[in-house]
Amino acid sequence: MLTDTVIEDSRWQAFNLEPLADQAATVTLRHLDLDPEAHEIVLMGCDDARITTLNGDFRDKPRATNVLSWPFEDLSAETPGGKPLEPEAEELGDIAIAYETCQREAAEQGKPMADHVTHLIVHGVLHLLGYDHIRDEDATLMEQLEVEILGKLGLPDPYREDTGPNGL
């Protein structure tokens, strides 16, 4: 399996996070012409308290967030909007995802939590692969990839403002 899922909050067990994460990560890597069998990602399903601590420790932002990622190697593109480097290591890195924040955001956006979590996992995997959204050119590229990957998973464009509840 591509993802090694660590469950720290039991609500993720009932949510069936492991197969959802593996599918999202596999489709993301295949979309980028990378072999999922050649790589590994650790995904931690946690709660807001844990992600608040992690966000404070690693980003000096002690508040809850939906997803965090720690790439094993820096694959960032040298130029804005450029393609990141190809990963050399088997390990791509680690992702943490917070249950309460994901649940609240999904409800606020009127979409199924599984769709929102899938989007956030795709987003986290892209971060592990060197994609970012700090510079406008990079954000455009990353969002385009997210839309394409989510489309392959049968999910609507999360950035379209004209979609209503449940992406319709």
Binding residues for Zn(2+): 123, 127, 133
Give the three-class secondary structure for 158: coil
Question: 10 Å Cβ neighbour count for 119?
Answer: 28
Question: 10 Å Cβ neighbour count for 40?
Answer: 17
From the annotation, which residues make up the binding site? 123, 127, 133
Which CA distances in Å does 137 have to 144, 146, 157? Answer: 11, 14, 19
Return the structure tokens found at 156. Answer: 């609507």
Cβ contact 128:40 at 8 Å: no
